[in-house]
Amino acid sequence: MNEQSNGLVSRVTGTVHVIGAGLLGASVGLGLRERGVTVTLEDLSPTTVALAADYGAGRARTADDPEPSLVVIATPPDVTADVIERALATYPSAVVTDVTSVKLAPFLELTRRGIDLTRYVGSHPMAGRERGGAIMARADLFKARPWIVCRDGETPAGALALVEAVALDLGGVLLEMTPEEHDRSVGLVSHLPQVVSSLLAARLVPAPEQAIGLAGAGLRDTTRIAASDPELWVQILGANRAPVVDLLDAFGADIAEFADALRDPDRPGAKRRIADLLADGNRGVARIPGKHGSSDRFTAITVLVDDQPGELARLLTELGDLGINMEDLRLEHSPGAQIGFAEIAVLPEVAERATADLIERGWRTL
Amino acid sequence: MNEQSNGLVSRVTGTVHVIGAGLLGASVGLGLRERGVTVTLEDLSPTTVALAADYGAGRARTADDPEPSLVVIATPPDVTADVIERALATYPSAVVTDVTSVKLAPFLELTRRGIDLTRYVGSHPMAGRERGGAIMARADLFKARPWIVCRDGETPAGALALVEAVALDLGGVLLEMTPEEHDRSVGLVSHLPQVVSSLLAARLVPAPEQAIGLAGAGLRDTTRIAASDPELWVQILGANRAPVVDLLDAFGADIAEFADALRDPDRPGAKRRIADLLADGNRGVARIPGKHGSSDRFTAITVLVDDQPGELARLLTELGDLGINMEDLRLEHSPGAQIGFAEIAVLPEVAERATADLIERGWRTL
């Protein structure tokens, strides 16, 4: 490790070469530069390289540069395999990793081509933003996010350590999976919800205005990610085809089963089946970690907040004054309404006192 | 209108009798009592009546009470038709309304029984909470929420006016629809998202722990309402069977079409179809009113917030100091992480300056 002048320690040794200087690539560069690592950049677009360099993500690679110790590939999913192959050939002693959100397809494609993948370690930081580009890059994009590393039996310890060093330098939380486990997992927790949310939102396109006017927080939450970039998702879903098709088939069968039970509710067991499927939903959502969705771990207090600047800040300040630790916060606001609802999650044991304290201070709770 | 001593004006004239003193019934009683309206209560459970009365939602009805001018029925969906029939018979000159979330089934059932529905006006305030019971009741539960009134050609103007008076006294936003329009609308914006969210969350039940560990904000948002009460939803979905089955069939067909296109992406037009369906999702979500989900109207700034008491309040206070009007706020927090992400929605024209101001004050933005 090298202690840098700014006090940040780098685990990475040698030079890192980043191919693809968009959001993820430029963010890798920025984060490593903060730790004093030498970062060189490459992109199909010279403008993108120049922009990322201006941002402080590294500098364009020159013919005089020595071979990098690590190549990080952050290109769109559909060219990842080609770029990995080229990087392994161009830098014959470098370790090569990629940050693509699908891991099995490029691995199988390269194996099919007979490429020696000993120096390749796939990885996937679970970070991203709805808008891409170097202009959105940040050194702390990966901070506190899961960073999955896919090794295999052939992976030398040194290669693995170098990729892990990058993940840790960038603040990621390391997880190890096989490419198959990774792709099935992200299929379930990311790709299936994306398709479901998109198709649910697509149902709103032909709906009458008055129906849309009744939309509440439930519809808004279930369709939020439907705003994601279609072009990127065509690539991601295409690259993780088999697991996503399996998941969609199973989910579609659930929808059909539910519809059938509801169509003929007097059939023996139909009402029970509907209730069981809804109860399974309760059990499923309770498994999700994190502060959102963990309604079994926290109690929600809904506070009415006037739609005026500073009101929410005043509420949170008073919560602090009262010593109430807020575990989560959700806002809801009806169009045209002069009032909003702030749902505050607190530990169950403090909920009653917190509510009483807020009411005493003049807040209205639901 | 009667000016009350507390300054609140009541549009409702005469006595209001509430049948079903749970969350909605007791909230109706509380809100009307605030305006000095005489409210009597009835429930299958004497304990529930006593509890609601203790809360200030009204008092138990006695034999000496004159006939109410309005009966508000707030019973579970599966007994609503029976209770409407009984109320129309018991109070032969009163107007009768109900607040059940499904409007066509009770109407058709009562018509089938040959009941004269001239004095009945169905309504549906779009309010509720994940937990029910009189103990959760609030006078302002209906404030700023849509309140749908279903009249028909036979409805006398006086009956309609009385139901609308209750809705307005309780702060609701009046909307008029036919029962068919209402049921199709709530089917689309409330019942379909509920089933989809529940079945998506149900898929998590058998998933390996490591997959669940990769869950991000997308999964949390899409499955939040899967925590709703299965027993209540069995009733709601059963009462709105026909529209929900149609919606599930159509949605299931979309899922199957998407899965087929993804299964065989080299088929002519398959990739285009995937992209089109995802783009339809963009268009659908853009139609939803309100501050959430309107990513086309606002720009999001993501600010890193240390997981310490008071940090979020400090951020919001500084936003106020800077004169930045926050249109929406979302929090995201990874398990075990010492840092959270606050996504602040602002008008596009102020986003750049707001970001610069925040950075100048030492905040880190993504």
Q: What is the DSSP string of A177-194?
A: --HHHHHHHHIIIIIHHH
Q: What does the alpha-carbon distance between residue B46 and residue B42 come to, in Å, rounded to a whole number?
A: 8
pLDDT band at B333 (very low <50, low <70, confident <90, very high): low
DSSP B190: I
Mean pLDDT lowest for which of A183-197, B85-99, B206-220? Answer: B206-220
Residue B202 has its nearest CB partner, among A129, A281, A331, at A281
Contact between B35 and B9 (Cβ < 8 Å): yes
Q: Are residues A16 and A146 in the same domain?
A: yes
Cβ <8 Å between B262 and A278: no
* Domain identity same for B54 and B131: yes
Chain A residues with CB under 8 Å of B210 CB are 175, 177, 181, 185
Tell me, yes or no, whether A95 lies in a domain: yes
Q: Is B231 contained in some domain? A: yes
pLDDT at residue A78, as a whole number: 87
pLDDT of residue A278: 97
**Same structural domain for residues A62 and A210?**
no
Question: What's the CATH number where A59 sits?
Answer: 3.40.50.720
Greatest CA span in chain A, whole angstroms?
78
Residues A356 and A165: their CA atoms lie apart, in Å, by: 49
What pLDDT sits at residue A6?
58
Mean pLDDT confidence for A191-206: 98
Residue A154 has pLDDT above 70, yes or no: yes
A191 lies in the same domain as A173 = no
B4 pLDDT higher than 60: no
Averaged pLDDT for residues B172-193: 95
Least confident of A170-179, A212-221, B115-124, B336-345: B336-345
Distance of alpha carbon A198 from alpha carbon B282, whole angstroms? 7
B304 or A237, which is more confident? A237
Of A20-24, A25-29, A75-79, B23-27, minimum mean pLDDT range: A75-79
Instruction: Tell me: do A274 and A313 sit in the same domain.
Output: no
Residue B134 near residue B57 (C-beta atoms within 8 A):
yes
> pLDDT value at position A294?
39
Cα-based distances in Å from A2 to A35, A157, A345: 9, 21, 42
Mean pLDDT along residues A167-186: 94
| Beta-strand relationship, B16-19 and A59-60 | unpaired
Q: Widest CA span of chain B, in angstroms?
A: 78
Model confidence at A2, in pLDDT bands (50, 70, 90)?
very low
Is the same domain home to A24 and A141?
A: yes
Residue B124 has pLDDT above 50, yes or no: yes
Whether the per-residue pLDDT at A3 is higher than 60: the answer is no
Instruction: Give the C-alpha separation, B326 to B344, whole Å.
Output: 6
Determine how β-strand B16-19 pairs with β-strand B70-73.
Answer: parallel
- Establish if B292 belongs to a structural domain: no
Considering the domain architecture, whether residues A202 and A145 belong to the same structural domain is answered as no
Note down the domain range covering B191. 184-286
User: Is B267 domain-assigned?
Assistant: yes
Say whether both A62 and A159 belong to one domain. Answer: yes
**In Å, how far from its chain's centre is CA A331?**
21
Indicate yes or no: CB of A216 within 8 angstroms of CB of B336: no
Q: Domain for residue B250, yes or no?
A: yes
Lowest mean pLDDT among A79-88, B80-89, B97-106, B308-317: B308-317
Structural tokens at position A348: 């169950």
Q: For residue A330, what is the domain's CATH number?
A: 3.30.70.260
Average pLDDT over residues A29-47: 95
Contact assignment for A282 to B254 by CB distance below 8 Å: no
Tell me the residue type at A307. D
Residue B61 located in a structural domain:
yes
Same domain, residue pair B171 and B198: no
B272-287 tens-digit pLDDT: 999 999 999 999 999 9
Please give the full DSSP string across B247-290, using - where no structure is assigned: HHHHHHHHHHHHHHHHHSTTSTTHHHHHHHHHHHHHHHHHT--S
DSSP B120: B
Residues B143 and B264 in one domain: no
Contact (CB<8Å) A255/B278 = no
**Which of these three, B128, B160, B177, is where a domain ends?**
B177
Residue A164 in domain: yes
> Where does a domain end: B154, B177, B200?
B177
Total of domains in chain B: 3
Same domain, A100 and A205: no
CATH number (domain holding residue A203)? 1.10.3660.10
Query: Helix A348-360 vs helix A311-321: angle between axes, to the nearest 10 degrees?
Result: 120
**How much is the average pLDDT of A274-302?**
79
Where a domain ends, among B148, B177, B206?
B177
Kindly determine whether residue A331 and residue B333, on different chains, have CB atoms separated by under 8 Å.
no
Looking at the predicted structure, is the pLDDT value of residue A253 above 60? yes
Query: Which segments within A43-172 are labelled E, that is strand?
Result: 59-60, 70-73, 95-98, 120-125, 146-150
Q: What's residue B297's pLDDT? A: 60
A158 assigned to some structural domain: yes
Give me the residues paired with residue A331 across strands: A342
Tell me the pLDDT band of A217, cut-offs 50, 70 and 90.
confident
Residue A129's pLDDT is what? Answer: 60
Phi then psi dihedrals of residue A275, to 5 deg: -65, -40
Q: Taking Cα atoms as reference points, which of A97, A94, A71 lies closest to residue A16?
A: A71
Q: Which residues of A touch B265 (CB under 8 A)?
A: 238, 241
Rg, chain B, Cα only: 25
Residues whose CB is less than 8 angstroms from the CB of residue B349 and which lie 6 or more positions away in sequence, other chains included: none
The CA–CA distances, whole Å, from A31 to A125, B21, B44, B206, B356 equal 13, 58, 64, 37, 20
Q: How confident is the model at residue B162 (pLDDT cuts 50, 70, 90)?
A: very high
Closest-approach residue (CA) in chain B for A299 = B131
Measured between alpha carbons, how far is B128 from B137 in angstroms, rounded to an integer?
A: 10
Same domain, B38 and B100: yes
